[in-house]
Amino acid sequence: MAVALRPRPMRPDLLMWTFARPHQEMYAPVLAAWNAEPDRPKAESLLLTTDALQRRLLSGFLSGTPLPDLVEVHGGIIAQIFRGPIDRIGFLDLTDRLRESGVIDMLNPPSLSPWTTRGRIYGLPHDVHPVLLGYRADLIEAAGIDLTQIETWDELIRVLRPLMADADGDGLPDRYLLNIWETNPELIDVLLLQAGGGLFDERERLIISSDLNAEALATIVSWTTGTNRIAINAPEFDAAGNRLRLEGVVLCSLLPDWLAGAWQLDLPQLAGKVKLMPLPAWRPGGRRTSVMGGTMLGLPREGRDIERAWTLAQELYLNREVARRLYREAGIVTAVRAFWDDPIFDEPNPFFSGQPAGRLYIDQAPHVPVRSSSPYHRLALAALGDAAMALKMQAEQHRLSAPSQLKPLARALLAQAEQRVRRQMNRNVFFQIEEPTP
């Protein structure tokens, strides 16, 4: 009886779910200003763990249990939501609203791709997440090496390889050039996208076994094995990995903007020792960036007040002050192109040796590759990881280290991976993508 009679908290008129505490804190001033207006419905945000948010969101879409009016989700969650037929997607289709309001013209076009399925857009992009190369400028420049003129991966490896000398006589290189390993398919996918490949094309069709992917995978695995090995496994957010970074064992790392922000918090000892540069291209004139991660804001289509929720969504995601705080506190550059001229992005960053880190990321933001939102991306990523590990085993077993030797093996393993994923996709009669005619 006591539980039944306990007063229940009143639900706000507009409720937002998010999985990121920093986001919730950034939105607090906007929500406070919104709630100060007498003619507006009261709005609140609720912080949930990622797992709890995903379970409750999917439950609401499938069984009709109560849902909020706005939800922030990342790519792993949206992929689950895109698994069914398009008329059963639980989020509101925002395509026409974005076009008619002109909002779509404010946004970085590639940043819409993770939230788009079958030609329809279901979320506002929170970020861009371009990837740059972070390198130990103190060690590299002390050796008289200037990376500003480097254009390709081959050139980078050629000029930095002398720094791998075994000065302490233990039989191992004192330093490694790159932080990448065959057991990290997410980083491999980042490089495949940069090369022009990837797991799916712009129409969500499988392209795992493409020639571009085979060539890139063969090269990446060659970096991790044999006499030509230049890479080491130094996981992010890991004590051992951070120790390798602090000791200068790792010279270069792939840094999306959010990870650059995390380094400033987790590795303050590197302040003034690190610089940023565009990723070396796979070929002269090629793309100098990639993309990793992302968040969107969506509206459940069964929301109680769609129009006011849409207005609040724009207040939160098309807000210059939120964009400034997002960069200041997390190092993340906004997807709203109209804000890219803000002076905050030109401020010298002491951690990155006085470079204007924000401007360096924004310069590459228009060039980030388009990504697939396929619900089978995680499955394809796992299959890519299996292929990479199998290729590494064969390389070591047969003492193969040249990319030209590994490419045929990579092509065969990627073909097996693609077949495995395609077999699983074909079981889903609700998610069918037209394949190209042979």
Write a three-state SS string for the chain: CHHHHCCCCCCCCEEEEECCHHHHHHHHHHHHHHHHCCCCCCEEEEECCHHHHHHHHHHHHHHCCCCCCEEEEEHHHHHHHCCCCHHHCCECCCHHHHHHHCHHHHECHHHHHHHEECCEECCEECCCCEEEEEEEHHHHHHCCCCCCCCCEHHHHHHHHHHHHCCCCCCCCCCCEEEECCCCCHHHHHHHHHHHCCCCECCCCCECCCCHHHHHHHHHHHHCCCHHHCCEECCCCCCHHHHHHHHCCCEEEEEEEHHHHHHHHHHCHHHCCCEEEEECCECCCCCCCCCECCCEEEECECCCCCHHHHHHHHHHHHCCHHHHHHHHHHHCCCCCEHHHCCCHHHHCCECCCCCECHHHHHHHHHHHCCCCCCCCCHHHHHHHHHHHHHHHHHHHHHHCCCCHHHHHHHHHHHHHHHHHHHHHHHCCCCCCCCCCCCC
Q: Taken in order 217, 222, 225, 231, is the CA torsion positive or negative?
A: negative
> What confidence tens digit (pLDDT) does each residue in 173-230 have?
999 999 999 999 999 999 999 999 999 998 889 999 999 999 999 999 999 998 789 9
Q: What is the pLDDT of residue 437?
A: 41
Domain membership of residue 3 (yes or no) is no
Cα gap 362→135, rounded to integer Å: 19
β-pair partners for 176:
250
Position 428 pLDDT exceeds 90: no
Same domain for 357 and 383 = no
Q: Let me know if residue 4 belongs to a domain.
A: no
> For the chain, what is the domain count?
2
pTM of the model: 0.93
Q: For residue 257, is pLDDT > 50?
A: yes
Asked which of 351, 367, 383 is the last residue of a domain, the reply is: 367
The whole-number pLDDT of residue 85 equals: 87
For residues 151 and 250, state if they share a domain.
Answer: yes
List, for residues 324-370, the tens digit of each pLDDT value.
999 999 999 999 999 999 999 999 999 999 999 999 999 999 999 99
Task: Tell me whether residue 304 is in a domain.
Answer: yes
Question: Where residue 111 sits, what CATH number does that domain have?
Answer: 3.40.190.10
Is 106's pLDDT higher than 90? yes
The answer for 371, left when phi > 0, alpha when psi is -120 to 50, beta otherwise, is beta
The pLDDT value given to residue 10: 59
Query: Is residue 99 domain-shared with residue 135, that is, in the same domain?
Result: no
Cα(165)–Cα(162) distance, integer angstroms? 6
Q: Please tell me whether residues 145 and 56 are part of one structural domain.
A: no
Percent of the chain with pLDDT over 90: 84
Instruction: Report yes or no on 7 lying in a domain.
Output: no
Let me know whether 298 and 171 are in one domain: no
Q: Is the pLDDT of residue 234 over 80?
A: yes
Specify the pLDDT at position 2: 63
Tokens describing residue 229:
């090995």
Same-domain status, 328 and 252:
no
Cα-Cα-Cα-Cα dihedral sign, residues 371, 373, 374, 376: positive
Look-up: residue for tokens 């060690």? Answer: 139
- Antiparallel, parallel or unpaired: β 176-179 and 250-256: parallel
Q: Give the residue, 373 or 429, on which the prediction is more confident.
A: 373
Distance of CA 20 to the CA centre of its chain: 15
Contact 394, 409 (CB under 8 A): yes
The domain of 72 spans 14-125+292-367
pLDDT at 438: 40
Residue 3 has pLDDT above 80, yes or no: no
Identify whether 335 is part of a domain. Answer: yes
pLDDT class of 6 with cuts at 50, 70, 90: low
Residues 143-165: tens digit of each pLDDT: 999 999 999 999 999 999 999 98
Residue 5: pLDDT band (50, 70, 90) is low
Percentage, residues of the chain above pLDDT 70 = 95
The verdict on 238 and 384 lying in the same domain is yes
- Which of these three, 324, 352, 367, is where a domain ends? 367
Single-letter amino acid code for the residue at 288: R
Residue 195 counted as domain residue? yes
* In-domain check, residue 437: no
Using CB atoms within 10 A of its CB, is residue 350 exposed (0-12), middle (13-18) or buried (19+)? exposed
Kindly state whether residues 30 and 83 are assigned to the same domain: yes
Backbone φ and ψ of 174, nearest 5°:
-75, -25
- Alpha carbon 286 to chain centroid, angstroms: 20
Instruction: Tell me the two tokens of residue 283.
Output: 């070929």
Q: Do 42 and 90 sit in the same domain of this protein? A: yes
Listed residue (177, 175, 162, 180) closest to 220, CA to CA: 180
Inter-CA distances, 7 with 1, 146, 220, Å: 12, 67, 60
Statement to judge: residues 405 and 261 lie in one domain: yes
Structural domain contains residue 324:
yes
In this prediction, residues 297-310 reach a mean pLDDT of 94
Same-domain pairing of 379 and 407: yes
Specify the pairing of strand 131-136 against strand 274-278: antiparallel
More confident residue, 431 or 125: 125
Q: Which one is predicted more confidently, 399 or 169?
A: 399
Q: Are residues 99 and 147 in the same domain?
A: no
CA distance 271 to 199: 36
Domain boundary among 337, 367, 397: 367
